[in-house]
Amino acid sequence: MYAKVKSVVPLSDYRLLLTFDNSERRIFDVKPFLSKGVFAALADESLFRSVRVCFDTIEWSNGADDICPEVLYAISEPAEDIEAVC
């Protein structure tokens, strides 16, 4: 069974604070995706900040949503000191 995204908060430097349904908080770096397809538009910071939870993953207002929750979890890092990443 995979962890589902319960909340998302956009951070500086194109990172996201994700909270999963197992109560883990993890940091996902979107920068590697900014050169790929529909994600390139997220270089616009106002669009990047439009991120929201949709079902068990995330999406942006431009329709970018092709990152499954398993990938979000697997390639994110634990948010150990949340004050340091904000």
Per-domain residue ranges of the chain: 5-85
pTM, full prediction: 0.90
Q: 3-state class of 3 per DSSP? A: coil
Residue 8 token pair: 């998302």
Rounded to 5 degrees, φ, ψ at 50 are: -85, 5
Class of domain 5-85: alpha beta
Rounded to 5 degrees, φ, ψ at 58 are: -125, 160
Q: What is the mean pLDDT of the segment spanning 3-29?
A: 97
Residue 83's pLDDT is what? Answer: 57
Confidence band, pLDDT 50/70/90 cuts, at residue 86:
low
Distance CA 26, CA 72 (A): 9
Residue 82's pLDDT is what? Answer: 61
19-71: pLDDT as tens digits: 999 999 999 999 999 999 999 999 999 999 999 999 999 999 999 988 999 99
Distance CA 24, CA 13 (A): 21
